[in-house]
Each structure stands twice: as structure tokens, then as C-alpha cells.
Structure 1
Amino acid sequence: DKNWHGFPTRGDIPEVKGTFSKDLTEVTLDEMAELMYVGMKIIEEHKDVFPVGGEISVYHVKRAIVNSNGVELGDNGTYAISYLEVVARREGYTTPVSFDIVHERTRLPDIEELARAVCKKALESLKPIKAESGVMPVVLSPLALEELMTYTFYESISAENIYRGRSYYVGKLGERICSEHISIIDDGLIDRGFFTAPFDDEGVSHKKTVIVEKGILKSYISDSYYGNLIGGGSTGNALRTRSYRALPTIHPTNIILKIPSADLDDIINDIKQGLLVEHIEGAHSSNPERGEFSIVAAPAWAIYNGKIRAVRGAMLSGNFYELMNKIELMSKNIKQVNHLIAGYIMFNDVHVIA
């Protein structure tokens, strides 16, 4: 391959915090089963709520990267993930699945808090009214936004897709791509981040990469191969998602959104008519090059003068890259869902189809 410049060379390896716990490496299957039992008992306390699925997983990951250019690195990391899925059923009506997930690095997830949260969402989804069509403010949960960004934004900031001309952002470095009060950072070093590590799967140091600064596109994310092809080198974003038999590919680490924030209750209280969306379906059918999407919003709640009411039959359609210009506020209750670290995000003027 004439475009291959060889393996990366060794650089300074940063120190990271909150990525390993000896206690997590000693967690037993019995302890994990007991935790899930506690979660199921909490669900049973809600007579109209029924479990659909759930999982607790604990990982101790040891990585070793060695190449002929002097890279010889090792890393220990621990991970704990738990999710629960429930539905509520009353008077012949069954709600959409209420789902939530918790990612941790140094401790077991709080299964009691998780179970109560999904039960609350499920019960609030009972007695839905038909959704109304229109253009209105929409508040997306971090879970819903991560799903949508995975199939649009994350694809478009990849150096491989830039090089191949398959990105909406080809040739747009230095241009405004969203509101000036928005910044987006890929931070592979943040304390306790789920994708935090000293180096990526090519042995390149993780770093903090500003992708968007005050609305201006500043950088793409890259591995060493495509980083050299488009210029600028690797940003430390080569991740191996399977075994060592697979080549590393370009992925974000921890994506942090910097947006003006307010309490979620205050955001909702200021909306005269809108939609609150906890989960979406169909994001995988989005077009990453053009940004077009058409997704089902379920569970979702109509917002009328600051009050919420469960709705059925709501869909959202539009263009994600245009939607980024309509971001207004983010809630203060921030969590990490997979790659994304964010709160609930309010978008103005979103097309809702009933």
C-alpha cells in the first residue's frame, strides 16, 4: 500500500485516572446475580410493571500493543455495565419498552436507582394520547441523541469518510456548522470516562481533541493511516472493537457537549407545546453523508405548558446537520451513554409527524 507510512512511533503516554478498580476484578458471578435479583425485586414492587430484559456485565480488559517502531505498551482497565428493560401494562394497554443503561469504570452500577428509573418511565407512559404533527421544540434524552449521532455525526467526523468523500463535512474545516454557543470535544483522557485510556489500539496517545469550538468545525478524528492521508496525523482514535484479529477502526472516545445548561424541569416548564423523547427507533437507517433521518419516538411525552403527557405514534424527521443549528439548551443532569457525555438536549423547530 503506497499510502501506508508505517507503524506509529512511541510518544509520551499520559496518565489517566478512574479507569481501573481492583475491587471490580474480584466481583463474583454470585454477587452480580444478587444485584440483578435486587433490581427484579424493585420492579416487582410496581404491580403494573414487568421486566423484559436486563444485564449486568463486568470486564477486566488487559491490552498490549507492540510494534517494530519501538512501541511497547500495556494497560489495565475495568468496566461495568448494567441495563434494564421493562414495560407497563394496564387495562389492556402495554407501553413501549422503557430502557436505561449505566456505564461505570470503578464501581458496580446502582441497580436500585436504575430499576426505579425505568419503572417510573414505564408508568409515565401509560394512558397515552395520540401525538400531534407540527414543528415544535423537542427534548432528546442522552440515550436518544447518542443513537442518532452514532449514525450521522460520528460517521461524518471520521477521517476515513473525509478521505473517501463520504462525509457531510468534507472541506468544511474552519466553517460554522452549528450554533456559536456549542462546542464538541473528543476527550480520551477525562477521569472515569468509559472510553478513557492512555493510548488507542495503535499505541498512539489518547488526547483531548476539540472537534467543534463555538460552532466552528476545528478537527476530524483519525487513526494513523487516514490521519496521514488527510494531513495532521492520528488523533488517537483507532479503536479495536473486536479481537486482535480485527484491524482498529476510527471511533470517538468520550464525546463531550458544551452547551448552555438549565435544570430539566425549567427547560420543560418553558415549553408551550413540544415533545420529550426518551428513546428512538430507526436511527440506523439515517444517511450519514446527507444527515437525513426518520425515526420513531417511543417512549415519548407531549409537553403542554410545562406539563407532560404520554403520546403514541410520534415520529421525527429532518436533517441532523441542520438540527445542530437548532440546539438551544442542555439539562444539568449529565450522564455518559456509550460515547456521549451529555444531558437532555432541547432542539427548536423539529418536524414531528403523528
Structure 2
Amino acid sequence: MEELIRFGEKFFDELEIAMYKSREAGVQIELNEVSTSALRERVVTVVRGIKDKRLGVAIVDTGDKEKVKEAVERAYKMAKLNKPDEKWVSFPEPGKYREPRKVDKELREVSPDYFVELAREGIGMASEEGIVVAGGGGGAEWGESLIMNSHGVNVFQEGGGAFFYIELVGMKEGKVTPGIFDFDAKLSLKLDVESVVKNALQKVKWAFKTEKSKTEEAKVVVEPWAVSSLLSYALFPAFSGERLVKGTTPLANKVGEKVSNDLLTIYDDPLHELSINPVIADDEGVPTRRNVIVEKGIFKGFIWDNYWAKIHGVESTGNGKRNLSTGGISIGFHNVVIENGKRSLEEIIGEIEHGYLVDGFQGAHSSNPDNGNFAVVANPAFLIENGEVKGATVFMMSGNVYELLPDLYAVSKEQKVLPFGGSMVVPAMAFENVRIAGK
């Protein structure tokens, strides 16, 4: 790679070469059967070069040295065609990296057959209860990356994670429950299929009985999957430094101010003990770190990649994420952690005289991060009466995330690792005085 950097410096003022190797082994489940199993391996090399502030990018599906040299020359031709970016400063300089987490090398070699057996185990458990496995799957992902640039950045990292998920549907006496979803994810192959299926089965049993919701203000307990979908669209984009520069975040000039009460702490840390994305560098080779975004309800600051940080005159927080389809870098999270509380979810539910438990939101993707407005359908959702779940229900929930967060009154001590759309570690969150529209 150093030879390739030197070759590229003949064409560019600055050059970055990033090589990614990935291996994915896994299965898919459809209607009580393992529908597909697959093993996919890929190598992608991305070349980004700057000449007279003009950016050129080329991508090749190989690590072959001669092919990468051709990509360098192609990127140079692209750069000459592009307009100069007058805001461009430079690629990042070398930094000091944290000690990497220990990786489980079994993830690099596991066969899809391993996940076939896990899938059959899950299907068998559900079938014994007369419940349909509508969908699901499992797999392991292993990745290796090498990021180098002409300023001396040179960082290699490797690692992977495994996951299993299942969606169950109950059918009894003409009633069909909503699809109930549960999952597990770890940095090893020690996935807890039994707990995944048991958790989903419990909710399917609740869902056989249906209850009406009503338009009211009530306590609403939001489980991790629903928490992540709502906040990922309505809140988290506002933490981007790019939005600060462009003036599209409602958190401009809010650093040091309260956005919630002291029960809420949010940070991005790829080396958190539960993270399944333990990277020591971002996709530009900038060291990652623990970035506290909200601490006890107080907004602490934005996250940055190299480009937008230098435009704004601050340091990158190590949050540059690469799109392998375009080669471009944008600001993103590695592993969002919402800090847990002291009470169990069971205890939180047990203290509610009347309220609701939400397992999933529909329509969260339509939320507006420019102002925090959202309108979602709570489904699957459950009615709580006198500390017990009485049955399934559905309701509308709309409002503004910055008005919702101060009504947070409890956070569960259990946290769920979410492997979808990046790594997240999320507890259940309970809100009071939530305005809902019943159905």
C-alpha cells in the first residue's frame, strides 16, 4: 500500500487509499423453514485524491496492486473534470489509537451451517408452541480494513460480530397477531437463541387478546427496538456537525443546555463492552473515542468527520463513515449507547396502573430531524393495567422529540444490543404524560 501511495502522489496533492475485505456467512428463515444460506466474500478498494482542491474518486472490487494503480489514474481523470471545492482543507494527520478489543477469530471462519442449526433450533421451539416463524435469520460478519493516506495515516483493523433474529406470528381461533420480533447480537458465536424465542413467544401470547386504546395522556414504556427507530430518525441526525454548519439542526447554540432530564445520557463509543463494532479508527483513519453527546440531560456537543470539522475549525471526533457504493465520507455513529437505569423493565411495568408498552413503531422514518417532529403508529403495542400486560393494542403517537424527552421518568437496567443499521446499545425508556390517539 505504501508503494501505491507513492505512486498516487505523482498525480495528486493528497491521496487516500482504503481497502476493505468482508466475509458474511448466514441464513434466512421464511415460514418455518430455512429458505437460504449463503457465504459472501468481497474486497473493495477506494481511492480518493485531491488535485488543486478537486476531488477524484475511484472504486475497484479488488486489492490487486495493478488494478489499484489503474484506479488511481482513473481518479485523477475524474478530479480534472470536477469543480474545485474551495472549502477543502486536507486529509487527516496520524493520531493515537486506543488499544483494540480482542476479536474472536471463529467469526472469520464460521460456516453458514452453524446458523442453519440455530435457525432450526428457533423454529423448533416456536413450532412446539404452535406459533408460526414468519421470518428471521442469523449470521456472522467479519471485516478487515486498511486506511492509508499521504500524510502518514496507516491503520489496520479487523473484527466481526454475530446475530440471530426471529419474527413470530400467532394464529388461533381466527385471530392473527402482529409480527413479533426479537434478536440477539454478540462479538462471538454464543448467541442466546432460547431467550430470543422465549421473549418473542411471551409477546405473541399477550397479543392473542386485543384491547382498545383511547385518546388520552398516559404512561408509555418504549422498548429498545422502538426507541432506536424513533431516535435514529427524529433526534440523532441533529447531532451531526454538518447540520450545524449548514444550519439545519435545532441544537445550534444549545450546547450546555438541557434537552431532557438527568435520566438521559447518550454517547458514541465503539469500544463499549457490548459494542459489536469495536473500531479503533473511523473510515478516514482518525482515532475513535468515547464521544458524550447528552450527559444527564445536557447537550454536550456534536460529532464530526474530518471534512466538516476542519471547515468549522474544530477537531474530528472520529465519526467519518464511508459509503462503499460512492466512496464518499459522511458523519455517522459507530456504537450509540443510551445509558441504562437502575430498575428492571418488569419493575417499571409493574408500577403502572394504566399505560402502554410499545414494541415497535411504524413510520419513524418520516420523522423530521430539522425540528424533531414525528408521527408514528405504535404496533406491536400492549395495554398495561394494574402492573400487568392485558393484551395487544394499536395507537397513534405524534409530537416533538424535544418535548417528549423531558417526560422521561424511568430507564431500564437491561440494555439490548441492536445489530441493524450499525451497532446500538439501548434500554427501554418510560415516558409520562404522552398524548396518544387511540384506535
In the superposition, the TM-score normalised over structure 1's length comes to: 0.95
1:273-309 alpha-carbon deviations (Å, 9 max, x no partner): 1110011111001111111111111111111121111
Please give the residue correspondences for 1:202-351 in structure 2 after superposition, counting only pairs within 5 Å: 202-240=284-322, 242-243=323-324, 245-258=326-339, 260-338=341-419, 339-351=423-435
**Does the Cα contact within 8 Å between 1:184 and 1:258 map onto a contact in 2?**
yes
Q: Tell me how far apart the structure 2 counterparts of residues 43 and 248 of structure 1 sit (CA, whole Å).
A: 43
Q: Tell me how far apart the structure 1 counterparts of residues 189 and 94 of structure 2 sit (CA, whole Å).
A: 32
Please give the residue correspondences for 1:184-195 in structure 2 after superposition, counting only pairs within 5 Å: 184-195=266-277
Structure 1's 181 and 117: CA in aligned 2 closer, same or farther, altered over 3 A? closer
1:45 to 104, 114, 128: 128
> How far off is 1:244 after superposition?
6.6
Secondary structure class of the residue paired with 1:12: coil
When the two chains are superposed, the root-mean-square deviation of aligned CA atoms in Å is 1.5
1:110 aligns with 2:202: no
**Does the Cα contact within 8 Å between 1:16 and 1:190 map onto a contact in 2?**
no
Secondary structure class of the residue paired with 1:352: strand
> How far off is 1:229 after superposition?
2.4
Q: Tell me how far apart the structure 2 counterparts of residues 182 and 301 of structure 1 sit (CA, whole Å).
A: 24
Q: Which residue of 2 aligns with 1:149?
A: 231
Secondary structure class of the residue paired with 1:294: strand
1:10 to 94, 103, 121: 94
Please give the residue correspondences for 1:42-81 in structure 2 after superposition, counting only pairs within 5 Å: 42-47=125-130, 49-81=131-163
Q: Tell me how far apart the structure 2 counterparts of residues 172 and 7 of structure 1 sit (CA, whole Å).
A: 29
Q: Tell me how far apart the structure 1 counterparts of residues 353 and 181 of structure 2 sit (CA, whole Å).
A: 27
The residue identity in structure 1 corresponding to 2:227 is L
1:196 aligns with 2:269: no
Q: Highest Rg: 1 or 2?
A: 2
The residue identity in structure 1 corresponding to 2:128 is E
Q: Tell me how far apart the structure 2 counterparts of residues 73 and 263 of structure 1 sit (CA, whole Å).
A: 41
Q: Which has the higher contact order (CA 8 A, sep 6+)?
A: 1
> How far off is 1:108 after superposition?
4.1
> How far off is 1:226 after superposition?
1.1
Q: Tell me how far apart the structure 1 counterparts of residues 93 and 242 of structure 2 sit (CA, whole Å).
A: 21
Greater than 4 Å deviation, 4+ residue runs: none
Secondary structure class of the residue paired with 2:170: strand
> How far off is 1:140 after superposition?
0.4
Q: Tell me how far apart the structure 2 counterparts of residues 352 and 45 of structure 1 sit (CA, whole Å).
A: 37
Q: Which residue of 1 aligns with 2:55?
A: none
**Does the Cα contact within 8 Å between 1:142 and 1:340 map onto a contact in 2?**
no
Secondary structure class of the residue paired with 1:261: coil
Q: Tell me how far apart the structure 1 counterparts of residues 155 and 242 of structure 2 sit (CA, whole Å).
A: 25
> How far off is 1:27 after superposition?
1.2
> How far off is 1:183 after superposition?
2.1
> How far off is 1:223 after superposition?
0.4
Percent identity, please: 32
Q: Tell me how far apart the structure 1 counterparts of residues 318 and 237 of structure 2 sit (CA, whole Å).
A: 16
Q: Which residue of 1 aligns with 2:219?
A: 137
Secondary structure class of the residue paired with 2:414: coil
Secondary structure class of the residue paired with 1:268: helix
The residue identity in structure 2 corresponding to 1:174 is G
Q: Tell me how far apart the structure 2 counterparts of residues 231 and 121 of structure 1 sit (CA, whole Å).
A: 50
1:50-84 alpha-carbon deviations (Å, 9 max, x no partner): 01111112111011101111011111111212211
> How far off is 1:192 after superposition?
4.3
Structure 1's 46 and 330: CA in aligned 2 closer, same or farther, altered over 3 A? same
1:235-283 alpha-carbon deviations (Å, 9 max, x no partner): 111122x427421221122222235421222211221211100111110
Q: Tell me how far apart the structure 2 counterparts of residues 259 and 325 of structure 1 sit (CA, whole Å).
A: 16
Structure 2 unaligned runs (5+)? 1-84
> How far off is 1:311 after superposition?
3.0
**Does the Cα contact within 8 Å between 2:227 and 2:426 map onto a contact in 1?**
no
Q: Tell me how far apart the structure 2 counterparts of residues 174 and 231 of structure 1 sit (CA, whole Å).
A: 19
Secondary structure class of the residue paired with 2:397: strand
**Does the Cα contact within 8 Å between 2:169 and 2:204 map onto a contact in 1?**
yes
2:111 to 25, 28, 34: 28
Structure 1 unaligned runs (5+)? none
1:304-343 alpha-carbon deviations (Å, 9 max, x no partner): 1211112333121111111111111111111222443222
In the superposition, the TM-score normalised over structure 2's length comes to: 0.77
